[in-house]
Structure formats: structure tokens, C-alpha cells
Amino acid sequence: MGFKEHIQPDKLPQHVAIIMDGNGRWAKQKGKLRTFGHKIGVKAVRETVEGAAEIGLKVLTLYAFSTENWNRPQREINALMNLLVDTIHQETPRLIENRIQLRAMGDLSQLPSNCQRQLQKSIDDTADQSGMILNLALSYSARWEILRAVKALAAQVQAGTIRPEDIDEAQFSKHLCTAEFPDPELLIRTSGEQRISNYLLWQIAYSELYFTSCLWPDFTREHLFEALVAYQQRERRFGKISEQVAAL
């Protein structure tokens, strides 16, 4: 019996975020170029996206390219951008078959123009899909996102449309890229690294963190289901005590 049978449908997280890590190391272990790892990583993206839709998640946010990734060798950046354009182009019909809506968040203006165009086309082409939302974090970092929110609020204060004392968590969240989504209940990181790497810092305040040593190209829907089972075995207390949670 696989992990899927152990998932309780009534306790599914709505939003799962993933840090896809380990493509380079996976390739190196096989004596191949890092870009080969990214290429095979696309298979894991497909597996995970379709597994997440199959199980009924509402939102899946994948960290596909961070602000810091712009500091990689130009050759690797180019390979990643080309892979992104090709993958988004090729996978759009499959997204539609699976009723998946594509979104993207981050400083998208930094992406090469062909990448921006393909992204926008696939976002438009899938806009009517009513199943899961696949949200790609591209040229994204949480500090960039938080600063952007702060600047937007500061401008509103300056314009006199909001008073500083009225800024609360809900107001602030409205200015984040994820404004229309619930915070992720579960954050998964592959490759054995146990850090957050500037990802969704505000939104993961109460997320369950799940680290697996599996390198991203080896990640399958079964690994996703395993993480969901582990999540469901945890007790989420949100600062309360166990007895209070049990009484709910």
C-alpha cells in the first residue's frame, strides 16, 4: 500500500510550497553537467504538479528561480531560462487537461522577454481552469516581496489613504504576491538542506516544515504523498496548548 491511501482527505493542506533543491548535486553524482539535473528536474515538477492536483490541493507554489539565482554563471541562467520557456510551452496543454491554472510571482520584469511572453501566454491560456493553482516563484525572494509591500503601504500613508495605526497583518498580507491564497500549511524542501533561503518568510510563520534528503530530480508524487502523511500526523497548535487544540 502506498502513502496515498493513508492521506485523510478532510485534513489536506490547501496550500503546499516546495523548495526544489538538489538538481546540481544529482547531476554531479552521475558525472553530468548541472543543467542535465535541471532538465530531469522538470520530470519531477510534472510528477509533483499532477500528484498535487490528483490529491486535491488548492495551491502549489514552487520555488523555480530565486533573486539570488541571478548570481549563478550566465550559462546556467540561460539554460534555466530556456528550459523554463520550453517547459511552460510544452506543458500548457497538460495543465489544461488537468484543469490547472498557472500563475507566477516575483520580479518578473527581470526575466528575459521571451520568458515573460511565454509565461503570460500560458497564464492567459489557463486562466479559466478551475482546478489547482500552480504558482511559480520566479525571480522571487521573500525580502524583495516584503520590501515591495512596505513601499506600497508607505505610499498609501503618504497619500493619506491609510493611517499607520490601521496597518495590521491582514492589511499587510494584501500587499504580498500571495494575497489571494491561504498561507501554506506545509513547506517541503528536498536535498537534505534545512534552511528557508528567502522563501515566503511572512507566509510560513506557522507552516509545518518538512525536509527530505531526496534530491529534486528523484522526487515523485509518492514523496509528496509521504510528506502529506507526515504533515497530517503533526499537531498544529498555533501557540496554544495540546488540550486546547484537542477540544476544537
Q: Does 106 bind ligand FPP (CB under 6 A)?
A: no
Q: Does 21 bind ligand FPP (CB under 6 A)?
A: yes
Site residues for ligand FPP, 51-80, by CB under 6 A, read 62, 64, 69
Examine the residue annotation and report whether 183 is marked as an active-site residue of this protein: no
The CB-side HSE value for 39 (13 A sphere, CA atoms) comes to: 10
- Among residues 13, 24, 106, 184, which is the contact residue for ligand FPP, using CB under 6 A? 24
Report residue 71 as a C-alpha cell.
548570481
Q: Does 45 bind ligand FPP (CB under 6 A)?
A: yes
3-state secondary structure of 210: strand
Q: How many CB atoms lie within 10 A of CB 123?
A: 16
Tell me 99's DSSP state: T
Strand extents, DSSP E, 161-230: 186-189, 208-211
Strand partners, 137: 63, 105
- Among residues 25, 121, 148, 175, which is the contact residue for ligand FPP, using CB under 6 A? 25
Segment interacting with ligand FPP (CB under 6 A) among 37-45, 146-154, 166-174, 240-248: 37-45
Question: Is residue 99 within 8 Å of 131, Cβ to Cβ?
Answer: yes
Tell the smallest beta-carbon distance from residue 168 to ligand FPP (Å): 34
Q: Does 18 bind ligand FPP (CB under 6 A)?
A: no
Question: Is residue 188 within 8 Å of 16, Cβ to Cβ?
Answer: yes
3-state secondary structure of 136: strand
- Among residues 18, 20, 115, 188, which is the contact residue for ligand FPP, using CB under 6 A? 20
3-state secondary structure of 211: strand
Q: Does 16 bind ligand FPP (CB under 6 A)?
A: no
Examine the residue annotation and report whether 71 is marked as an active-site residue of this protein: no
Residues at the interface with ligand FPP (CB under 6 A) = 20-25, 38, 41-42, 45, 62, 64, 69, 83-84, 87, 136, 191, 216
The catalytic residue positions are 21, 69
